[in-house]
Amino acid sequence: MWAYQAAYFPSGLVDCLAGIGTGDADAFTNAANSYVTGVLRTIIQALSAAYSPALDCYIRASHLKWHPLASELQVQGAWASKINALDDEYFLGLLQPYLTRVLDNRPCHWLKIYASKMPSGEFIGDCLLNNEPWAAGLALLAQEVAT
């Protein structure tokens, strides 16, 4: 899925996600719901100047204050039964000290995080910063998920 806004994200915000369901219609509905409740809702909140003051920080290269906004955490598998006990901002908080070193003075940055630990212990993840793979962020996610 792709979202575009000329002033804030002229290159667009890309989100690749999979819908899981008992059939095609169910899977498509789940994927659309995931996009609307996660990505789209967060874009609308950001364009409305909403943010999480507790996550405010300074971008080191420019000394500009960054006002992050985390989307609702989306979970699957065994975590689904624990959703109310989880912190939506946890992974952003984990990566934030490293993000402040690599962000520039663009008016909007996009961070996509996907972290999964399979029953075999294998880590599967994505960490995209402004639609580009961010290897350092992915390594930090892999370390955290291993614990």
Which tens digits make up the pLDDT trace of 19-53?
A: 788 999 998 898 888 888 888 888 888 888 888 88
CB 72 within 8 A of CB 41: yes
Q: pTM of the entire structure?
A: 0.82
The amino acid occupying position 34 is S
- At residue 140, does pLDDT exceed 80? yes
CA atoms within 13 Å, Cβ hemisphere of 36:
6
Mean pLDDT of 89-114: 87
Nearest by Cα to 2 from 33, 59, 30, 43: 43
What is each CA distance from 108 to 42, 129, 141, in whole angstroms? 12, 11, 22
Q: What tokens appear for 114 in the block?
A: 């996907």
- Percent of the chain whose pLDDT exceeds 70: 99
Report the alpha-carbon distance of residue 5 to residue 41 in Å, rounded.
Answer: 14
